[in-house]
Amino acid sequence: MDLRASRVLVTGAAHGLGLALAREFAARGAHVILTDRNVPLLEEAAARLRADGRSVEAHPLDVTDAAAIVALRERLLDTGPVDVLVNNAGVVFGGGFADVPLERHQATIGINVGGLVAMTHAFLPHLESRPRAAILNICSASAFIGLPYATTYAASKWAVLGFSESLDEELRERGRHHVRVSALCPSYITTGLFAGARPSAGTWLLTAEGVARAGVRMVERRGTRLILPWTAGILLGGFGWLPRPVFHALARLFGVSRSMAQWRGH
């Protein structure tokens, strides 16, 4: 997919991976629409990109507010199309399941899954009307394995992966081959969200910039699933066929099961 002169909407774009994605899309010649619920950070991010000569606009948005999503869609489509939707907005709360307040578990599901579904539901009919379009869902390597001390986060990402692959196949079944749904599944990223988390053996902390480059390449090449780093893909793919007790024993051996035990992110 040629991103030059395309219009790309990124949720959770005020900082971290969302901002890195916005910067990478803009560097490819796209006009980027930044959204985030943190208005001061959103305005600062837009100003930084404009200072770099990038074509951007910014709109405050809470992805759990369905009415606000529809209102934003109408405002955006009055001025031009949207060719790429990047569902990046997300949260994580670490800790023992019973120790984490229920409202945080509910917020995790509401933002990571509910917000992503609401954004996709609002924009998919328009994306189908474009000659070539894409949806990039930011998933996680935790979508393939149990993650103690981040149970609801892992559950939300399992849901995102299932949603992404189901919708992509549905579009194929409906003959909408021009719209691709991609799931980008990184391990821990050095954005502060996962501060204190320890990468499992054979993997390492990823940078937001590196993950963003991989995500943009997925859209350009119309990929459907990518696990980062590549070693995590090999581990999950190579051991995934094993009986579950054996698979989980290996996860403990490689340090996956305690990787979130010391989480102190924001």
b/e code 116-155 from CB counts within 10 Å (16+ = b):
bbbbbebbbebbeebeebbbbbbbbbbbbbbbbbbbbbbb
Q: 243, 177 in Cβ contact below 8 A?
A: no
* Contact (CB, 8 A) for 136 and 219: yes
Q: Could you tell me if 197 and 262 are in contact, meaning their C-beta atoms sit under 8 angstroms apart? A: yes
| Whole-number Å distance between alpha carbons of 89 and 126 | 21
Q: How many CB atoms lie within 10 A of CB 254?
A: 18
**Residue found by looking up tokens 């000659």 in the block:** 131
Dihedral in degrees, nearest 10, Cα atoms 231, 234, 235, 239: 180
Q: Which residues are catalytic?
A: 153
Residues sharing a CB contact under 8 Å with residue 197, sequence separation 6 or more, in sequence order:
94, 188, 259, 260, 262, 263, 265
